[in-house]
Structure formats: C-alpha cells, structure tokens
C-alpha cells in the first residue's frame, strides 16, 4: 500500500496532512443521512443509477457519460483495469495511486517531471515534446496538482489537448481539488477530446469517511468502465445525499473561496519572509514548501501536537519538501507560530 496522510487525527493532534474543507456538513445534510439509516437494511442501487442520472442532469450531459465510485480512487483503479493501456505517461509530482493502479493493470509507466525551476507548473511545449517521444496510450494529469496545488487553465492546455486528440491519446485528468478554485472543469470537453475527468466529492464537501467521487467521459469509454465495475460500491447513504451536496454547492463554494483566499493571503505573508523556507504558489487548500531539515522539523512538530506530510514518496520531490493543509485561521496561526519557534 502507498503512504498517505490522514492517520494522525486524534483529539490531541492538529493534522495538517489531510486536505479536507474545514467548513463541515450543514445540519440539513446530516439530518438526511440520519433519515437514510431507516433503509439501511436494503441494498443500494447496483451502479448508483439515480445518482448518475442526477449528476448528468446537473452538468447538462447526455446519458452514459458519468460513472460514480466509492471515492475517486476507486475510479482510478477501475480506469486502469478496464483499459489496460500498454504505456502510460504520468505528469509528476502527483498522487501516487495513479502509478500503482496502472502497474497493477500491467501498464508500463513513463514519468514526466515538472521542474522546480518552473514552480512545478506544466510546461505545455515541453510536455508535448515528451508525448511525441514516448507516444503513450494514456496521459495522466492532476489539475490542480497534488502536492503542489497549482492550477492550469484549459486554454493554456489546448495545444496539449489537440496533440492528444489528433493522436488518439486518452487524457486522464484528475480534478479532485478543482472546487477550491474558480477554474473551469474539463468536463465540458468530453465531446471534443478523448478525456476522462475525475472529480472527488470527499475533499470539498468534507466527507472522507463516506467515500464518494464521479468521473465524466465519452459514452464509448464509459461503456468499457461499466463492463469492469463491481456492483454496489457506492452505499445508499453516500448516494442519497448527492442531491443535497450539489444543491449546496454554490453557497458552499462562495463561503469556501472567501475563507481560502483570506487564509492563503495570511499564510503567504507569514511564510514567504522566512529565510529558510521556500513556499510554492497554491490555488487550493494545501501548499508545498521546501526547507532544510524537513524530516527533523516533522518530528519536532509531532512533539508539539502537529502532523504534516513529508513528500519523499512523490517523484520529483524529496524529504526536504512538506505539504500542509490550509485549515481554520486559529489552526493556521498555531502552525505558523510553531514553525517560527522551531526554525
């Protein structure tokens, strides 16, 4: 199993390794979850059909273009298992489960590394040259990136989309954190380009314990995924609250973006002046920083009741990098003041 954050969340530990929206569920949704327990003795729909239809309606898509999973990670493994591509190019640094999923499916991995000199942003021209050289069957991009947090608008990626479209290269685009930005989703491109767009509901809606995600693509590709999808992977409680989650989306997004802007401004103004830390630009609810002695700092933070994610298991990074979540202001204050004290 790969290493992940999110396992130091005890009452006495401030866990900055998990990137979950601190604006929790509203009472209406919690009440709905309680109501859904009345039918817990009944099986959920085999493929969450009602939820699929609802999401398609909300996104203005025709039938057969959405699939729902037990979290976005289930759909990563399902995509790899269903398509079994020979060669996959993964844009790094990124979520480590892509590589594991494709290797288990028998694919050969070609790594493309975004450079630190560019702030780990996607260099479209350089990436197109790499695609020309390696000719992958699938190109995997995480946008916004994890663990860096930068977002690339799809107008900037249009030459890359054209390259993949003209050469029958499927683009797997993970948008798990896009709701934390005001960026436009690539879901609108599924009719024009061979894209598979992954969307997590766990992070933005603060439901990691429920596990819920969906993906959007063209009908032909989705038919292939449904051939391999296991039945009953989405429970009735998760499926049953989707309408309320999406109905609350606009108001929640307004509230979230205001909180995030205020906190990122505070974090940037507090950390950038520190001589020993390099902070990379983020558009989402976590950020990447580099400093000498990061592993030692991590252990010192644990003794102070704070846990962070070191990044030595991300390709293109090493143990001098730390990823930290953006939390409520009082927690961010504690984190930054503790770092100042320790370095």
Model pLDDT for residues 305-317, shown as the tens digit of each residue: 999 999 999 999 9
d(CA 237, CA 132): 45
| pLDDT of 211 higher than 90 | yes
pLDDT bin (cut points 50, 70, 90) of residue 12 is confident
- Residue 247: which H helix or E strand, with range? helix 242-247
pLDDT bin (cut points 50, 70, 90) of residue 294 is confident
The CA-atom distances, in angstroms, between 163 and each of 29, 79, 132, 170, 193 are 43, 21, 9, 10, 10
Q: Give backbone dihedrals phi and psi of 64, rounded to 5 degrees, phi first.
A: 85, 15
d(CA 252, CA 264): 18
Cα 65-67-69 angle, rounded to 5 deg: 165
In the prediction, which pLDDT does 170 show? 98
Closest residue by Cα to residue 225 from 102, 79, 107: 79
| pTM score of the predicted model | 0.94
Instruction: Indicate left, alpha or beta for 45 from its phi (over 0: left) and psi (-120 to 50: alpha).
Output: beta
Q: CA Rg, the chain, in Å?
A: 20
The percent of residues above 70 in pLDDT, for the chain, comes to 97
| pLDDT of 15 higher than 90 | yes
Model pLDDT for residues 96-120, shown as the tens digit of each residue: 999 999 999 999 999 999 999 989 9
Q: Are 319 and 312 in contact (CB under 8 A)?
A: yes
Model pLDDT for residues 229-257, shown as the tens digit of each residue: 999 999 999 999 999 999 998 999 999 99
Burial 51-67 (b: 16+ CB within 10 A, else e): bbebbbeebebeebbbb
Q: Among all chains, which residue has been given the structure tokens 């296991």?
A: 230
Model pLDDT for residues 27-85, shown as the tens digit of each residue: 999 999 999 999 999 999 999 999 999 999 999 998 999 999 999 999 999 999 999 99
| pLDDT of 181 higher than 90 | yes
| pLDDT of 2 higher than 90 | no
d(CA 121, CA 264): 18
Cα torsion 195, 197, 198, 203 to 10°: value is 150
Q: Are 88 and 110 in contact (CB under 8 A)?
A: yes
| pLDDT of 8 higher than 90 | no
Average pLDDT of span 145-165: 96
Cα 159-136-178 angle, rounded to 5 deg: 55
Provide DSSP, 289-335: EE-TTHHHHHHHHHHTTEE-EE-TTSTT--TTEEEEE---HHHHHHH
Instruction: Indicate left, alpha or beta for 258 from its phi (over 0: left) and psi (-120 to 50: alpha).
Output: alpha
pLDDT bin (cut points 50, 70, 90) of residue 220 is very high
The CA-atom distances, in angstroms, between 126 and each of 123, 288, 314 are 5, 23, 21
């Amino acid at each position: 199993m790969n290493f992940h954050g999110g396992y130091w969340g005890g009452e006495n530990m401030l866990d900055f390794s998990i990137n979950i929206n601190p604006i929790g569920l509203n009472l209406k949704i919690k009440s709905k979850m309680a109501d859904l327990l009345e039918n817990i003795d009944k099986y959920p729909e085999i493929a969450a059909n009602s939820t699929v239809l609802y999401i398609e309606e909300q996104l203005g898509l025709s039938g057969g273009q959405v699939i729902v999973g037990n979290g976005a990670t289930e759909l990563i493994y399902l995509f790899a298992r269903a398509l079994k591509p020979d060669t996959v190019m993964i844009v790094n640094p990124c979520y480590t489960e892509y590589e594991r999923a494709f290797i288990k499916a028998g694919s050969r991995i070609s790594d493309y590394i975004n450079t630190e000199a560019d702030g780990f942003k996607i260099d479209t021209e350089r990436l197109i040259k790499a695609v020309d050289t390696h000719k992958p069957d699938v190109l995997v991009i995480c946008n916004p990136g994890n663990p860096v947090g930068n977002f690339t608008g799809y107008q900037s990626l249009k030459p890359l989309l054209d390259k993949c479209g003209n050469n029958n290269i499927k683009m797997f685009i993970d948008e798990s954190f896009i709701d934390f930005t005001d960026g436009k989703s690539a879901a609108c491109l599924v009719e024009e380009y061979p894209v598979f767009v992954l969307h997590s509901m766990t992070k933005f809606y603060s439901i990691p314990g429920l596990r819920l995600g969906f993906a959007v693509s063209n009908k032909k590709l989705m038919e292939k995924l449904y051939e391999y999808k296991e039945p009953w992977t989405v429970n009735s409680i998760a499926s049953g609250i989707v309408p309320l989650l999406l109905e609350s989306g606009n108001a929640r997004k307004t509230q979230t973006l205001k909180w995030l802007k205020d906190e990122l401004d505070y974090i940037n103004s507090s950390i950038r002046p520190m001589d020993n830390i390099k902070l990379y630009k983020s558009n989402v609810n976590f950020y990447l920083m580099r400093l000498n002695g990061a592993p030692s700092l991590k252990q010192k933070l644990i003794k102070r009741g704070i846990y962070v994610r070191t990044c030595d298991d991300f390709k293109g990074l090493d143990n001098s990098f730390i990823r930290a979540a953006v939390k409520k202001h009082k927690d961010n204050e504690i984190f930054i003041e503790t770092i100042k004290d320790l370095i």
